[in-house]
Amino acid sequence: MTAAARIQPLRARRSGPLVGRVTAPGDKSISHRSLILGLLAVGETRVRGLLMAEDVLNTAAACRALGAAVEISAAGEARVQGRGIGGLVEPEDVLDFGNSGTGARLMMGVLASHPLLAVATGDASLRRRPMGRVARPLESMGAELRLRAGDRLPGAIRGTGEALPIRYRLPVPSAQVKSAILLAGLNARGETTVIEPEPTRDHSERMLRHFGATVRVEDTAEGRVVTLVGQPELEGRSIDVPADPSSAAFALVAAAIVPGSRVTVAGVGLNPLRTGLLATLEEMGCDLSYGQRREVGGEPVAELTVRHGRLKGTIVPPERAPSMIDEYPILAVAAACAEGKTEMRGLAELRVKESDRLGAVAQGLAACGVKVEEGKDSLVIHGQGKPPAGGASIAARLDHRIAMSFLVLGLASRDPVAIDDIASIATSFPDFVALMRGLGADLAAP
């Protein structure tokens, strides 16, 4: 098949109201971690609601390559027969993580404290992303890492059987770096500590405890201090994966900006370190309600309903960024339809995601007739209280969130918005187009 034949363009056009009740795919962060901890546990781990997307399936393949038996049904039920901490086998081939920074960085932590050699790579987008922020602390624990120029993948990891526990202060907020260090610390004698100046999502801490590890968390003057006691015996567990709030965000924002809409998304994870977008939408006046609150697999969940209404601009504080870093592209779409100015700051991390998301959002909105001001780590959007003109063709840049966000904008804009290639959506939300069409969205080939 030629490269041109793989390109999948799509156009979004203003439609009638979006109405219905849907379930977003399983949380990607939790899906990755459930497989990785299943690999490191003794016995069987059963996972229900696993995200059936390319990113997670690549992590499953890496677990198999390291010796785990992994079976996954089409319904998203997985069974993992783990190897136990210290029991991994050396992979016979390169570990390919596709588009997933989470899969690559977390598995680098696992590999770092096992005496084996592995080579990690990914697609063109992942090979552009920085890995030095993970490599440096893992090297201080005794691992050897060799990366391409600019600290990029492909990279070779020679792990150590005598990993050293460390005390490490994160230079930038990153749940991936924190998790990589903690996973490496599982096979180190003593206590491994990560200090977070700003709290990031804590799925790893919650799940490590669920599997039997001892993890202490303290809020101190120097930040949030997370300490793991090394060399536990993790035991296989059952995990129910809640719906991903980052994926649910697309249907929720679409309902907020398309007149007459009312959309409910069931079972959405409400981890308090993941709810920044919801808090921001409420500050903008979004008609958002919560129902059926409960706990699933140690994570709070609820049914979320959004009705269309007028949105107003707001100021998003920089300290909120870690709790919504993946949601800024779709928040920018909401801001483009709001009345008044929305200011977002502390966005430097968006520059090193699957694409330069800050630049991609600013350029895409400008092409759709929205006045924007792009800074080094900031974005100011001047909404006019109505959907923008649209009428642009947007380059997805191999970035699933850019593709989905601008398709949502096209459902409300005056003229259609086209995406040059939606193939990247399969990395996190393969049923996105079908789900949105089921709500009434007009999505079709250009």
Residue 394 CA to residue 82 CA, distance in Å, equals 43
| Averaged pLDDT for residues 352-360 | 94
Residues 192 and 258 both lie in one domain: no
Q: Rounding to the nearest 10 degrees, give the CA dihedral for residues 417, 324, 213, 113.
A: 70
C-alpha 62/C-alpha 50 separation (Å) is 16
Model pLDDT for residues 41-85, shown as the tens digit of each residue: 999 999 999 999 999 999 999 999 999 999 999 999 999 999 999
Do 262 and 380 sit in the same domain of this protein? yes
Q: How far apart are CA 214 and CA 366, in angstroms?
A: 49
Same-domain check for residues 267 and 146: no
In the annotation, is 377 catalytic?
A: no
In whole angstroms, give the CA distance from residue 227 to residue 216. 5
Q: What is the pLDDT of residue 417?
A: 98
CA distance 57 to 269: 21
What confidence score (pLDDT) does residue 4 get?
A: 39
User: What one-character-per-residue DSSP string does 97-155 give?
Assistant: -TT-HHHHHHHHHHHHTSS-EEEEE--TTGGGS--HHHHHHHHHTT-EEEEETTTEEEE
Place of tokens 């895409």: 364
Q: What is the pLDDT of residue 254?
A: 98
Residue that is last in its domain, among 206, 240, 274? 240
Q: What are the distances in angstroms from CA 24 to CA 28, 100, 267?
A: 11, 19, 8
- For the residues 98-106, what does the mean pLDDT come to? 96
12 & 66 share domain: no
- Sheet order of strands, 378-384 included: 315-316, 339-345, 378-384, 371-374
284 shares a domain with 226:
no
> What does the block give as tokens for 203?
């799925």
| CA distances (Å), origin 88, targets 91, 114, 253 | 9, 7, 43
- Active-site annotation holder among 27, 55, 123, 326: 326
Q: Strand pairing partners for 378?
A: 345
- Is there a single domain that holds both residue 114 and residue 20? no
Mean pLDDT of 364-373: 98
pLDDT for 21-45, tens place per residue? 999 999 999 999 999 999 999 999 9
Which comes out higher in pLDDT, residue 391 or 295?
391
Rg of the chain in Å (alpha carbons):
21
Band of the pLDDT at 288, cuts 50, 70, 90? very high
Same domain for 328 and 434? Answer: yes
How is residue 318 annotated by DSSP? G
Specify whether 108 is located in the same domain as 129.
Answer: yes
Query: What pLDDT, on a 0 to 100 scale, did the predictor assign at position 241?
Result: 96
153-180 average pLDDT score: 97
Asked if the model's pLDDT at residue 351 lies above 80, the reply is yes
pTM over 0.85: yes
pLDDT over 80 (residue 297)? no
Mean pLDDT for the stretch of residues 113-141: 96
- If asked whether residues 127 and 229 sit together in one domain, one would say yes
pLDDT of residue 298: 78
Token output for 402 = 């850019």
**Following DSSP, what letter does each residue of 256-287 receive, concatenated?**
HHSTT-EEEEEEEE--TTS-HHHHHHHHTT-E
**Residue 387, domain extent:** 3-26+242-444
Q: Does 2 score more than 70 pLDDT?
A: no
**CATH number, position 22:** 3.65.10.10
φ, ψ at 345 (rounded to 5°): -135, 165
- Please indicate, yes or no, whether residues 203 and 254 belong to a single structural domain of this protein: no
pLDDT in tens, 311-333: 999 999 999 999 999 999 999 99
Residue 94 and residue 210 in one domain: yes
Last residue of a domain, one of 197, 223, 240: 240
**Domain end: 186, 221, 240, which one?**
240
What is the number of structural domains in the chain?
2
Confidence (pLDDT) at 6:
74
Asked if 261 and 388 sit in the same domain, the reply is yes
Is it the case that residue 5 has pLDDT exceeding 70?
no
